[in-house]
Amino acid sequence: MNSALSEYTKKKNYVYLLRSHNFKFKGRIYIGFTVNPNRRLKQHNAGAAYGGANKTNQKGPWEMMLVIDGFPHEILALRFEWAWQHPYLSRKLKHLQKKKSNESHLQYHLRVLNKMLQIGPWKRLPIHVQWLNETAMTEIDQSSFLYSISYASEIPGMCSIKPTPIPEKSPLPINSSLCFSCDQFICSPRNVICPMFLCNKNYHVECLAKHFLVNESEVIPLKGHCPSCKTDLLWCDVIAANDFTL
């Protein structure tokens, strides 16, 4: 787990889930917010005197089971953290069935997470969920999740769609002045290129957005696939790879 967590170097906003391996508190769950998951896990295991939370003090060792990122700013991440910690107090989640007697703490919190990712405002966020413990995945019913549950040893990881690493953007090929979608010349600077290195097809931003929104009613797309290489992409990743500002 530590090798995966050490990959976190960028300043992002993360919500994470810990599970205790202390025999007295085995299975106990803690949900928190951080900008540095690796450092935060060390603090929790070191104790409250070293920056860990009071609720996790002397109840470790703690393992970081999963991390979530993709929050545009800290306030949204903190609100997500609070709702996940207190679903029974959240206006959008208080109708959910409380923890079942045959349900572990991990299973319960993942059930809540699954529901959160299906409703607003969270369903429109470009959230990435990274599972960090492959063995523990057998404890949950993955068929009940609308969002894929998978394991990866490096970050970024599990996403609501197949993870798509964004490589360095290649220079625009000379013969790619036609939009691959509408086959019309691109005369405006408002164009985007598929971020996949072996594709690099050029699009009007409006054409690609419309393609991503084929089965959606929203104005701004969330995800879709490149019409050329068929790779699943997050809209925010396409925009980021093109240094594009809407």
Average pLDDT, the chain: 78
Low-confidence winner among 33-47, 163-177, 204-218 (lowest mean pLDDT): 163-177
Please check whether residue 85 lies inside any domain of the structure.
Answer: yes
Whose CA is closest to 224, among 200, 202, 243, 207? 207
The reply to whether 161 falls in a domain is: no
What is the share, in percent, of the chain residues with pLDDT greater than 90?
Answer: 22
pLDDT of residue 147: 55
Per-residue pLDDT, averaged over 160-172, amounts to 42
How many CB atoms are closer than 10 A to CB 97? 9
Range of the domain at 212: 167-246
In a shared domain, residues 138 and 173 = no
Specify whether 16 is located in the same domain as 103: yes
- Residue pair 1/133 in contact (Cβ under 8 Å)? The answer is yes
Q: Are strands 191-193 and 128-131 parallel, antiparallel or unpaired?
A: unpaired
| Claim to verify: residue 110 and residue 6 sit in the same structural domain | yes
Q: What is the mean pLDDT of residues 172-194?
A: 75
Per-residue pLDDT reduced to its tens digit, 189-221: 678 889 887 888 999 988 998 888 866 566 778
Domain count, the chain: 2
Percent above pLDDT 70 for the chain: 74
